[in-house]
Amino acid sequence: MGNFSENIVNQQFNKLYKLFEKKGIIKGKSDLALKLDTYNHVINNILKGDRNITVDQLNKLFLTYNVNANYLFGLSEEIF
C-alpha cells in the first residue's frame, strides 16, 4: 500500500480525529465511521496513512461536524 500520511488533508484529519476524541465529540473510530457512512477499518487506514479520505467522506465531515474545509486543506488554523 502507498504512504498517504504525507497528504496534508490526511495529516489534518489525524489532528482533527485526536481533537474530537479529546473533546468527547466522538467515542472512537467506529463512531466517526458511522457518521461518515463508512467502516471502522477505513477510518483506521486513513489514520495509519494507508489510504486517503474520500471527497464524499470529507463532505460528510464538513456537514456533520461543521468543520472548516480550509482547515483540512491546511489553509486555515480555524477548525470550525
**Is the confidence at residue 74, as pLDDT, over 90?**
yes
* pLDDT tens-digit readout, 5-22: 889 999 999 999 999 999
What is the reported pLDDT for 5?
85
CA–CA dist 67, 72 (Å, integer): 8
4-to-13, 46, 48, 49 alpha-carbon distances in Å: 12, 8, 8, 5
* pLDDT tens-digit readout, 35-64: 999 999 999 999 999 999 999 999 999 999
Give the Cβ contact number of residue 21 at 10 Å. 15
Q: Which helix (H) or strand (E) holds 20?
A: helix 8-23
CA–CA dist 7, 49 (Å, integer): 9
* Banded model confidence at residue 3, pLDDT cuts 50, 70, 90: confident
